[in-house]
Structure 1
Amino acid sequence: MSVPHTVKGTVPFGEYKTWYRLSGDPGTSPRPTLVAVHGGPGSTHDYLRALEVFAAVGWPVVLYDQLGNGGSTHLPDKGPEFWTPELFLDELDNLLDRLGIADNYVLFGQSWGGLVVARHAAARPRGLRGLVVANAPASYPLWLREMEVLRAQLPPGINDVLLRHEAAGTTDSEEYHAAMRVFYDRHVCRLKPWPRDYQASFYEITNDPTVYHAMNGPSEFHVIGTLKDWGVEDCLPDIEVPTLVLSGAHDEATPETVRPYAELIPDARWEVFPESSHLPHLEEPERFIATMIEYLKGLPG
């Protein structure tokens, strides 16, 4: 399948700019545009490039870099008080309006992006046709509790290394990063080597960790940033559109963190990918594509 013509550009977001990539033409397609909201916070669109396959079968696709990373405006001098969930919700609203797709779209939110799209959907925007929540915890308190469970299951000595550096504030050390990689290889991406698109996003966080460190922390499993008490469980019953919930059997987003989406959203279906961790769209692409197309075709016209 060949991806239709792709346009890249930026839209103004207040005094800043949001970079986007649009595949397909929303103006001529009767189908809603699929808008992908990446994880992190502080990652980039790169690891979601595989979603452009849906533009080849009729759904225009928008990928974008959230403020602070990738092709969007970088703000390394902004403190934690600047980087709020509301900022990124406003950025998403602005992008939908600027691209002229706010009247007919589906949201795909991966990891942190899943919480963003859930909060957006709970406001019941007029043009939202469907919602995909992929590999996302419903709250960071849930996430942190489950991180303790996963860390305790790491090979002997690994968690001791992690704990020692976290207590000492030396999480930028090579020893910490090496121990961190053991967790990532089990629960973030089980493919070896890591796919190029995922590596690109990983290195973008390393190149400018401002947002990731402020909101999350030094790693996926040591959340000490501004998100540590944040979640979306309270608003899930307000979501009205058909919702597809995705997770991997080896996911850092464990069943306990994902279950509130399936139980609290009135019209939700939960699909678990048995060979995947946090990135089923890369780890089990054929099953992922088939699951998504079935869902997209089933949305009300």
Structure 2
Amino acid sequence: MATSLEGSYDGLAPFDWPAAKKPLQTWYRVFGDLTSSITPLVIIHGGPGFPHNYLLNHRALTDNHSIPVIFYDQVGSGFSTRLPETASSTDFPNFWTIEIFNEQLRQLLTHLKIEGRYDILGHSWGGMMGSDFAHLRPCGLRRLILVNSAASKAHSIANRKRYREELPQEMRDVLDRVEKENAWSSKEAREVMAEFSKKHVCTVFPFPEDGMAAIRISNEDTTVPDTIGEDVDGNSFKCRGYMATWTMEGKAKKIEAPTLVINGVDEFASGDAVKPFLDEIPDVRLVTIKGTTHSPHFEKRQEYMEIVGDFLVAP
């Protein structure tokens, strides 16, 4: 069942980014009262390009703690302005980098008039982006939650490759063959990757409706992940371009906000993938939720929401 939107409202915020060569808009949805005395929480979705829908069950933080919760779609995805024309590296060189996402968030905070005090929760790529935003020491950031977020893309890829080697031999043979043939869109590749995802992305099957909605919408426009280099022609065991160099190592030490790192077991942000966060952020703690992989908000929803809620409402 999809998460109810009852009691929420949505809107569009202007986003000025001259390099886009046209006006942009950020779509957002708000649960709760932004004028209350409770610090609002901004949720940053993953991907890049995998829109907010799959995180909507975080509305439980409003229902249980009266925390105002804000969802938004990063530019290029979901209900925010899409930019398929930016796939041209000639006309839009170096367009998709972390700076556009950081600036979009800054302008949204100002539009909503919460720039003076807010919390951030980012999932997967959303936490990667959120950690980069936080290391710039933005005014108003009170607390930071990094959920299933690796401290570098290289760490995430290393975990994926390790899990690939743990697959049954017949599955590894399929992936080796499709890699040589660059046939990642083939039926057999999709079948093996579906099994891979059930072990390392989300153990809940069938995938919850909020997640299916995000998949459907993300498939409508893949400009952002394709251009930023999230994978290589559908091969999620490789990355390229900007994403190949993305890291918080050496930068996480600049994060001043108290930080909660949440991860699962045998997922892309397991083990050494979060170590730079733990080693560098001055005020940080890690919670590994047993029995979860990359989707604890689906796999152990109640436990996960209690951990997040307790961190946010603590004095």
Q: TM-score range by the shorter chain?
A: over 0.9
Trace 1:3-152 onto structure 2 (pairs within 5 A): 5-14=7-16, 15-27=23-35, 29-56=36-63, 57-79=65-87, 81-152=94-165
- How big is the shift at 1:176? 1.6
Tell me the secondary structure at the aligned position of residue 68 of structure 1. Answer: coil
Tell me the secondary structure at the aligned position of residue 184 of structure 2. Answer: coil
What CA deviation, in whole Å up to 9, does each residue of 1:46-95 have, x standing for no partner?
01001111112221000011111111111112126321111111111111
Corresponding residue of 1:191: 204
What CA deviation, in whole Å up to 9, does each residue of 1:209-237 have, x standing for no partner?
11122220225433235301211122111
- How big is the shift at 1:194? 0.7
- How big is the shift at 1:183? 1.1
CA, structure 1 residues 280+219, in 2 after alignment: closer, same or farther (shift >3 Å)? farther
For 1:219 and 1:64, how far apart are their aligned partners in 2? 27
For 2:265 and 2:243, how far apart are their aligned partners in 1? 25
Task: Confirm or deny: 8 A CA contact 1:142 1:257 kept in the other structure.
Answer: yes
- How many residues are matched? 297
Candidates 295, 309, 315, aligned match of 1:293: 309
Task: Confirm or deny: 8 A CA contact 1:108 1:114 kept in the other structure.
Answer: yes
TM-score by length of 2: 0.90
Task: Confirm or deny: 8 A CA contact 1:38 1:110 kept in the other structure.
Answer: yes
Corresponding residue of 1:166: 179
Corresponding residue of 1:236: 252
- How big is the shift at 1:174? 1.9
- How big is the shift at 1:258? 1.4
Task: Confirm or deny: 8 A CA contact 2:159 2:267 kept in the other structure.
Answer: no
Query: What letter matches 1:237 in structure 2?
Result: K
For 2:144 and 2:291, how far apart are their aligned partners in 1? 23
What CA RMSD, in Å, does the superposition of the two structures yield over aligned residues?
A: 1.6
Corresponding residue of 2:270: 254
- How big is the shift at 1:115? 1.2
Tell me the secondary structure at the aligned position of residue 239 of structure 2. Answer: coil
Query: What letter matches 2:216 in structure 1?
Result: Y
Q: Which of 88-97 and 290-299 deviates more?
A: 290-299
For 2:271 and 2:115, how far apart are their aligned partners in 1? 32
Q: Using the aligned pairs only, state the percent identity.
A: 35
- How big is the shift at 1:3? 7.9
TM-score by length of 1: 0.94
For 1:271 and 1:158, how far apart are their aligned partners in 2? 32
For 2:48 and 2:149, how far apart are their aligned partners in 1? 12
Moved over 6 A (4+): none
Q: Point out where structure 2 has 5 or more consecutive residues left out of the alignment.
A: 17-22
- How big is the shift at 1:271? 0.4
- How big is the shift at 1:204? 2.0
Corresponding residue of 1:270: 286
